[in-house]
Amino acid sequence: MTHVRGGARSTTVTGDQLRAQLAKVLTILPGLTVRQLCVKLSAAHGHQYDKHDINRILYGNPQQFERTNDAVPAWHLRVASEPPVVVAPIMSPRQSALELRLWPWQQRALVAWNESNFRGVVEAVTGTGKSHVGLAAAATAAGEGIPTVVLVPTVELQQQWERLASRVLPTLTVGLLGDGQSDSLDVCDILIATAQTASARDLVPPSKEVLVVADECHRYGSPGWRDALDSTFGLRLGLTATYERKDDGIKEVLDPYFGGVCYSLGYEEALEDAVIAPFKIAIVNVTLNSGERRQYEDLAD
């Protein structure tokens, strides 16, 4: 038993409860130290946690938690302890070989996309796992013999998608297009392409159904990017944290192409599902000297 204090009251937390709380925090924010875990748990549950109790759980469950070899260790969940809900893809009852571990909101998003005839934008706050939604759609499509093109705006995102896809879908072949790479759908199940390169190529083989997953899809409403949204992509999934633009790109390009938002995950729902850490917003006044004021006004223009 762990006794945690909140004001004048004392609450008992069992070892299993503390382990579950630690797992939830490290799923959302991997790489925290014990001191940081104390702070996060105290803020989330309104009690004061003891680092000795947390250390006891972390070191006592090596099958679930692992640490770095730094002087002050940072803690992570082992891969097998990631999202707690296991679901099969849902596009076709024939597809059962490929499975992903998904949070409930990710499953709801996939259901909404399916019900929208496999077209739509999933809008979800940053850090909630939109990429897993895209890969679940790609896994489902692969089971039907349909390859996937993942469009990304930067090389850094291309590399992130490749690492994630290779880890969570090891049975599928992942290829790259752009940044010196020239794979095609003829040799891979998932082709991760930079938008700049994709806009200048014909990616869809003749008479072939293809799924497109457009990461940060709000960017593709601009004149220089919209050419990446090939009309021959039959299945279309857009992913974004903010489905907004200052021009008419949403109305003129993105809504006609994707069919609008099919699922939206806001902060309130994300907090309820515990897929993001609880937070507080405070507005703090600061005094600027004349030089800082000029710099602020220049940057604000």
**pLDDT score, position 7:** 46
- Mean local confidence (pLDDT), 163-187: 88
Reported as a single tens digit per residue, the pLDDT across 81-95 is 344 444 434 444 333
**CB-based contacts of 119, cutoff 8 Å, min separation 6:** 113, 235, 236, 237, 258, 259, 262
**pLDDT score, position 163:** 93
In this predicted model, which residue has the larger pLDDT, 273 or 163? Answer: 163
Reported as a single tens digit per residue, the pLDDT across 197-227 is 988 777 777 667 899 999 999 999 888 788 8
**102, pLDDT greater than 60:** yes
According to CATH, where is 3.40.50.300 located in the chain?
86-272
**pLDDT score, position 274:** 65
Residue 61 is classified by DSSP as: -
Distance CA 14, CA 228 (A): 53
**pLDDT score, position 301:** 59
The mean of the pLDDT values for the chain is 82
Please, which pLDDT band fits residue 126 given cuts at 50, 70 and 90?
Answer: confident
| Phi, psi (degrees; rounded to nearest 5) at 6 | -135, 100
Sign of CA dihedral 281, 33, 129, 96: negative
Q: Residue 2: how many CA atoms within 13 Å on its side-chain side?
A: 20
Output the six-digit token pair for 107: 């499953």
What number of H helices and E strands is found in the chain?
11, 14
**pLDDT score, position 2:** 52
What percent of the chain stands above pLDDT 70? 84
According to CATH, where is 1.10.10.10 located in the chain?
2-81
Q: Domain 86-272: which topology?
A: Rossmann fold (3.40.50)
In this predicted model, which residue has the larger pLDDT, 194 or 70? Answer: 194
**pLDDT score, position 99:** 53
CATH of 2-81 given 1.10.10.10, 3.30.70.1450, 3.30.420.40, 3.90.550.10: 1.10.10.10
- Mean local confidence (pLDDT), 139-167: 92
**CB-based contacts of 261, cutoff 8 Å, min separation 6:** 120, 121, 122, 123, 243
- Mean local confidence (pLDDT), 179-193: 88
